[in-house]
Amino acid sequence: MPTSNSSKTRLWTARILTGFATLFLLMDALLKVLKLPPAVQGTISLGFPVSAVLGIGIVELACLVLYITPRTSILGAILLTGYLGGAIASQVRVEAPVFSHILFPTYIAALFWAGLYLRDERLRILLPVRAHA
């Protein structure tokens, strides 16, 4: 049975993990929606046309809104996982460096899934983690 102190620690850890991932994804999406040069150049370097930048940013923002909304957070996490999977595939296609580019979306996904797991009891019930005695 979790104590009040462990519940508070879990909640704050969840907020921090969720906050880091959300801020990163929000910044990335806004760069794309505003069609700022780094987003446009990055998208072109991955082989996408400039016309795709805005759409990609809108999709990312929509997924992020679903993720940060408590009732739809699990759906948002699933959709963001798909979005980040596409980012990984794009990086693999252009033979980008593994740890800094190809796996970076995996690091972000780990942050938002860990944050969601810690803050959403529905997910902890669905995927229970038990300590071995």
CB 106 within 8 A of CB 81: no
- Is the pLDDT assigned to residue 2 strictly greater than 60? no
What pLDDT sits at residue 100?
87
- Is the pLDDT assigned to residue 13 strictly greater than 60? yes
What pLDDT sits at residue 130?
80
Q: Output DSSP code: residue 100.
A: I
Tokens of 36: 């700022």
Sign of CA dihedral 3, 128, 65, 83: positive
Q: Average pLDDT in the 29-53 region? A: 96
Give the Cα separation of 133 and 125 in Å (integer): 20
- Is the pLDDT assigned to residue 114 strictly greater than 80? yes
Q: Which residue has the tokens 């460096």?
A: 97
pLDDT, one tens digit per residue, over 45-71 is 999 999 999 999 999 999 999 999 999
What pLDDT sits at residue 3?
60
- Is the pLDDT assigned to residue 128 strictly greater than 60? yes
Residue among 91, 25, 101 nearest 60 (CA): 25
What pLDDT sits at residue 54?
97
Q: How would you class 51 by CB atoms within 10 Å of its CB: exposed for 0-12, middle for 13-18, buried for 19 or more?
A: exposed
Q: Which amino acid is at 14?
A: A
Integer CA distances (angstroms), 97 to 28, 102, 103, 133, in order: 19, 6, 9, 41
Q: Average pLDDT in the 76-100 region? A: 95
What pLDDT sits at residue 132?
67
Q: Average pLDDT in the 78-90 region? A: 96
How does the average pLDDT of the chain come out, rounded? 93
Residue among 2, 4, 100, 91 nearest 48 (CA): 91
- Is the pLDDT assigned to residue 4 strictly greater than 80? no
